[in-house]
Amino acid sequence: MIGVITVPTASGPNKNIKDAVDKKVRAGECLQCKKPAAKRGLCSKHHAQFHRALKGIGDQTKAAEFEAKAIAKGIVLAKGYAAEKNDYAKLAAAVS
């Protein structure tokens, strides 16, 4: 079974995480440090660390669980999250 991806919601205990993530995304900063975000909300160094940890798990189900937990903790963005926050993408979606 593929793990369910939990995205922080607008209310409840995850609100602080979501607010912190939104702030970092708006600032274009890595979720783990102050460097510019490159991929999945992380700078190149932290993305490499995340990717290495993810690939090191091997088992696909456990890797999906690891990724979901990392997303829920606000230490990596869900795939497509940055694009959703991009004003051009929002505008394009609104007119299409």
The least distance separating Zn ion from the CB of residue 91, rounded to whole angstroms, comes to 29
CA atoms within 13 A on the CB side of 30: 15
Give the shortest CB-76-to-Zn ion separation in angstroms.
Answer: 11
Output 7 or 33, the one with its CB closest to Zn ion: 33
**What's the rounded Cα separation, in Å, for the pair 69 and 43?**
19
Comparing CB distances to Zn ion, the nearer of 17 and 64 is: 17
Report which DSSP code applies to 74. Answer: T
- Tell me which residues touch Zn ion (CB under 5 A): 30, 32-33, 35, 43, 46
